[in-house]
Structures are given as structure tokens and as C-alpha cells.
Amino acid sequence: MAVNAIDQTRRMLSLVTYLKDRPGARVEEVARAFGISADELISDLNVLPMCGTSFRGGDLLEIDTDGERIWWRNAEALGSDTAQPLRLAADEATALLVAARAVATLPGLRESDRDALQRAVAKLETAAGESAGASSRLSVTFESEGGVFADVDRAIAERRRLWIRYYSPARDELTEREVDPIRLFAVGHTYVEAWCRLSEARRTFRLDRVAEIKLLDERSDPPPIEPRDLSAGLVQPAATDPEVVVEVGPGGRWVAEYYPHDSAEELPDGGLRITLRTPDPASLRRLALRLGPDGRITAPQELAESARDAARKALAAYGA
Amino acid sequence: MAIAKAERLMNLALCLLGARRPLTKRELRASIEAYVEAYGSGEAAAYGSGEAAAYGSGEAAAYGSGEAAAYGSGGTATSAYGSGEAAVRGPGGAGAALGRGEGATGTEESFSRMFERDKDDLRELGLVIDTVENLDGETAYVARRDSNRLPPVTLDAAEATALGLAARVWQQARLAAAASGALQKLHAAGGMPPGAIPEQGGERQLSTLEPHIPAREAAFEPLMLACRDRRPVAFDYRKSNAAHSEKRHVEPWTLECWRGHWYLAGWDRERQAERVFRLSRITGPVRSRAAAFTVPVPDQVTVRETVERWAGEGATSTARIRLRAGAGYPLRARALHTRELGDGWDELEIPYGHGLDAWLVEFGPDVVALEPAELRADVIERLRAVAQG
């Protein structure tokens, strides 16, 4: 297991403070408080007896464990200076404050939670002192639809089914469906992951595309499924999805920023040839139309033709 | 096997925190087994008068670059960040003048580099290490109790849960680690109710929400540090519609994440104006530059407004369109007025800002732009481009 020395040092410094006030602390409890596994904790405990205020003076930390409880034999001898609670670093204060402020401004959050976040932020700002200063240089906004958010939140908490009217940009249509919500998450926009009773499959819905929502009395009963792993990004095309090739000029380079793609090859005019995969190529007709003079779809042929066809039909309405 | 870095850092921290008086580098070296093992205790070597001069100036500002940076060119004040590249200077002029052998100088130098890096690492963890002159006129280091102590802080269960959630939000390694480090400090200080960090998928959740802040852009971390430390930066940047990137020299002010993308606001030195940069358009590495900001940082930085303008959300007037019944829900959601025309079409008045033409074209034959004439012409031009494919 790769151990980051900086993080381990940070943790061990807090561990020393923690253990000083808690003789005979239980391995399990300490690991939980520190958000680490018991094995990680034991590996820290193996390092600590090699640490001290000076190895020459023989004043090493006599910390040992029988695997269940942890004892520090010479805590008093080393004095309180070594184990006093340590101030927060700028990055530490920033990480918590920026995240807490971002969540606290989410529309639709329960008021009790918003209050708790705001109180925690205020206390943390005071405790962090000047370390809190740099946190103003980072900020995050989550987008959310307050009313929809509150209903989904309630449905999950009360295990109730939802009825939604949902907008699908790919087909430019609204569909009505009943869904069993699984979780609510925010990555820039806010989404609900749910079991869709209409398609009998897991679906992710963006809250700002929910045109209408109702809490139903039926109990939500999603089949047991692993939550999606979001770390790789929201859109994760499958290797078997059909391939689409888009050629863009310099003005259409943004496509590579917004669409996960397999490759983006530089073209001589400063443009890109972007190859991407999607389960539903027809959904990219919108993209082809949007690009206008800045790019076009070159494959598959039918998709390129359907975009041209749509444009011709639209032009007819202008008598152009 | 060499002693692990975490053990070495831990010992340096405990030594500094436990000492009743400032310790010189020589004393620290002799007290920490990892240094002794790697470089010897240093006591027998030709040590002494040159040393204090060699490691004084520039030192206090040296942190956070993450690169090997050993400062101290024998008394000359060195800028902490050189030219932004790893600055490794030495050997200390004074030390060399004392006639130490090459080997001793080399060892001395590597030890000093390691020592400086270790000190920087501890400062990153929040330790305040002051550099002072001791009674003998030597440079010495001290981690004062009062400046390193966390003030008393007590959180109730709801507040602790709130922070527990905030700590899990970051999908960026450095900030994720910093967030858990902060919680650990609060726990160690006794400020959290017992068992308040819910494990993954924990017991009590805040609302039912899982917020995530992604930061996949490579430029994120160096820019975050540069904003934090108020260091100018240089990077290659490609504007959204430009074929090639251009070198930009920027005094970075703030980073803002909106709709999952990160933006930097700062002072563009060439353009002598405030600019907003999208991090995903930064090509290549971000380099730190020496010297301070030349322009004061404004109290209010407006990243959001600029980005919204890019996204075409700053409407300046209104437009009239015809929309097929049942189509174009997002257009309807923004409409100021909607009138049924009765022939399967509706007429809408919608906000008109930058980018509306491209958006309308997305709806193909389901939308007809009516007014203003400029919008109508833009839409027709775009449609022609697509039709000719």
C-alpha cells in the first residue's frame, strides 16, 4: 500500500494528541474517529514508538497496542507541549470551509442542515484564525432546483416513489415516469439516481430538467444495485456504443471539452477531428445543428444526413 | 533501509514542538535519527560560523512549491521562488571558504536540502516554525506553543455531521487529504462528539445529499497554491475558439467552480486587465514566477458573471420565436410570454443574449426565429451552413 508520508505525518500528529487524553483507547474507535481502517491505524502505531522529542535522550513515545486497546506509557513524561491540539493549516481550513459553504448555499437543502452548516462554518472560521483567510480564494457553486431538490430529498428519506415529468434534450420531449429514488448527488449540477419503473433500469436525472414532480404514496422499492461510481465522470460510454466522428473548426473546439471522447486529432486549420461513442447517436443531431459553420458530423452517414435534412426543413419556414 | 519520511517528519515536528528553546539546525540534525543515519551527526565536520549566514535569508517565505528548493546563497537575500523553476543554490559561500572537503560540502548540501524540504512540509501541515537568532547569534528554529495551538472549538452533533459531509466532498487528492486532516485535528482536540465522523455511506446523512467537487484539471493544484500564496503564474492558454495557445502571465486571484468546471480570475499582465480563464483550456504546466503582485487584489472578484456571459445567460433584450406545440421545453421554461397560435404552433417571447442563435438552431424545424431581424439572419446563416454540411 502506498502511503503518503505527508498525510501519514499529519495523521500521526493528531493521533498523539488524541491518545494522550484517552488512555486505553480502543483501536476500533480510534480508527473510526480518524476515518481510517484498523490496519492503517496499526501501521501508524508501529511508527510512533520510533518517534520522540529526541532519540538520543531516549525520550521516544512508548505507545503500544495489543491490537484491541492502545496505551501510551510515558505520556506525562513527554509533557503537554508535544501533544497539544494543533492549529489548522491553510489547506485544511480551505478544504472544509469551501465545501461547507458550497453545500450550505444549495437551494432546497433542509433548513436545519443549512443552519448546522453555517454554524459549523462560523466556528471553524474562528478556530482557524488566519488560516481561514485563503479559503476565500476558492469557491464552488452547486446548481440546483430548490423545489425539486426538496421533494427528492424527502422521497429518499421517507422511502417514497416519485412521479416526474422529465425533459430529454436528446429527443426534445417530455416523458412522464415513476421512479424509485436511490440517491441525490451534486457534481456541478444536481442529479437524482433512480430506478426508473418505465424503462426498468437505473437512470440518472438532472434536477433542472424535471419539469414537474409529485411524491407518491407508494413505497419506493428499487432493486438492490451498486451506486454508480462517479469518480470517472458522469458520462461513461460503453466500448460497444456506436462511434460518431465530428470535425470542428477552431470555433467548435469546445465540443472536446464537453463531450467525453476517445480521441481528438488536431486538424491543419486549427480544428479537431473528435471521435466519440454514444449509445444513441441520434441524440447528437442537436450537436450537429448547434455547430452550424463551426463543425459537422462526418460519421455515421445517416446522422449527418438527418442533421442536413432538419436544417433544410427549418430553412423552408423562412422561405430561404 | 532508509528511515521512512513520515517517521523523519514526525520526529522533526515533535522535536520542535517539545523543545523549550529554539534549536539550531545542527542540534536538530543530531537529535533526529533519520538525519544522523543519512548524513552523520555533523558534529565532527567543519561546522560553525559559516552556517548561520548560509541559511538565514529567504527562508521564511520558502514553502509550498513542492519542488526541491534549497535557499541560502551565503548571505545574499534570495527570492523564495527563484524563476519559478526549482531553485537549488549553494554551496554556501561561507562554508566553502572554510575549506571543507568536497565530500563534506556535498553531504552538507544534501542534508540542508532535505532539512529545508522537511520544514516546508511541516509548514504545509500547519506548523508555525519561526526562524530566530539564538544567544550565540546562530539561526535557530522554534515552534511556539501558543502559535501552534488550536483554539478551543466544540461542535454539536449536527455541526459535526455537517463538517463530516463537507470533508467527503472533494474529489481532489490534496484537498481531500487536507479535509480529513482537519477533521482529525478537531477530533484530537476533543471538539467533536464521539463517533461523529460517519463512515462512507454513514448513518446520519445531511439531507440525503452527496455533493462532489471534481477537480480533474491538471492546472488546479498549482493554481490553488498560487492563489493561496499570491504568486504570479505563467501558462499556455488556448481561448475557446483559437487554434493555438498563447503564453499568459497572470496574477491569480481566485478559483471558482461552476457547473462542475473550474475557472481562474486574475490580472493578465500583458493585457493589463482582469481576465477569467477556464482551467481545461490551459495547455501545459503552470509555472510560478518570482516577485509579488503588481496590482492590488480586488475585494470582489466576479468570475460567475463573466462565465454566465460566455454561456449566453446575460440577456440584454428579448426575442420573439414560433415554437411547435409540445417542443422546446427549455425555451418554454424561460419564456416571458407564451401565446397559443392554434395551428400547432405557439409564439414565445424569450430573453435574447449571446448564443441564442446557436441554441435555437438545435431545435431544427420546430423553431422559427421571428424578431429581431439580426437574430433571424443569424439563425438562417447557421441553418444554411448545416444544410450544406
H helix and E strand count, chain B: 14, 13
pLDDT given at position A62:
86
The string of pLDDT tens digits covering residues B204-259 is 556 678 888 988 889 999 999 999 999 999 999 988 777 788 999 999 999 999 88
Query: Domain for residue B209, yes or no?
Result: no
Considering the four listed CATH numbers 2.60.120, 1.10.10, 1.10.287, 1.10.357, the one that applies to the domain covering A5-83 is 1.10.10
H helix and E strand count, chain A: 10, 13
Distance from CA of A275 to the nearest CA of B (A): 18
Q: Are residues B225 and B266 in the same domain?
A: yes
Whether residue A269 and residue B5 make contact (CB cut-off 8 A), yes or no, is no
ipTM of the complex: 0.86
Architecture field, domain A153-219: Roll (2.30)
Prediction pTM value: 0.82
pLDDT given at position A59:
80
The string of pLDDT tens digits covering residues B137-153 is 899 999 998 899 999 99
Q: How far apart are CA A301 and CA A24, in angstroms?
A: 72
Q: Are residues B19 and B56 in the same domain?
A: yes
Distance from CA of B310 to the nearest CA of A (A): 12
Chain B residues touching residue A103 (CB < 8 angstroms): 162, 165-166, 169, 206, 209, 211
**Mean pLDDT over all residues of chain B?**
80
Q: Are residues B335 and B378 in the same domain?
A: yes
Residues in chain A: 320
Which chain B residue has its CA at the smallest distance from A181's CA?
B208
Whether residue A292 and residue B365 make contact (CB cut-off 8 A), yes or no, is no
Average pLDDT rounded to a whole number, residues A124-130: 93
Q: Where are the alpha helices (DSSP H) in chain B?
A: 5-18, 25-31, 33-39, 49-54, 93-97, 102-124, 145-148, 157-167, 173-188, 220-229, 303-310, 329-334, 356-362, 373-388
Whether residue A189 and residue B259 make contact (CB cut-off 8 A), yes or no, is yes
Torsion of CA B157, B159, B165, B170, to 10 degrees: -140
Which chain B residue has its CA at the smallest distance from A6's CA?
B6
Distance from CA of B83 to the nearest CA of A (A): 24
Q: Look up the domain containing B384 and give its range.
A: 317-388
Whether residue B166 and residue A103 make contact (CB cut-off 8 A), yes or no, is yes
pLDDT given at position B308:
76
Q: Where are the alpha helices (DSSP H) in A35-73?
A: 38-47
Distance from CA of A278 to the nearest CA of B (A): 18
Average pLDDT rounded to a whole number, residues A190-202: 92
> Which of A32, A119, A143 lies at the smallest CB-CB distance from B159?
A119
Task: Report the percentage of chain B scoring pLDDT > 70.
Answer: 79
The string of pLDDT tens digits covering residues A144-184 is 777 899 999 999 999 999 999 999 988 899 999 999 999 99
Instruction: Centre a 10 Å sphere on the Cβ of residue A140 and count the other Cβ atoms it contains.
Output: 23
Whether residue A250 and residue B10 make contact (CB cut-off 8 A), yes or no, is no
Instruction: Centre a 10 Å sphere on the Cβ of residue A66 and count the other Cβ atoms it contains.
Output: 8
Q: Are residues B11 and B44 in the same domain?
A: yes
Task: Report the percentage of chain A scoring pLDDT > 70.
Answer: 94
Q: What are the structural domain ranges in chain A? A: 5-83, 90-137, 153-219, 243-316
Phi then psi for residue B108, to 5 deg, are -55, -45
Probe site for chain A from B21, B209, B300 (most A CB atoms < 10 A)? B209
Chain A residues touching residue B192 (CB < 8 angstroms): 33
pLDDT bin (cut points 50, 70, 90) of residue B54 is: very low
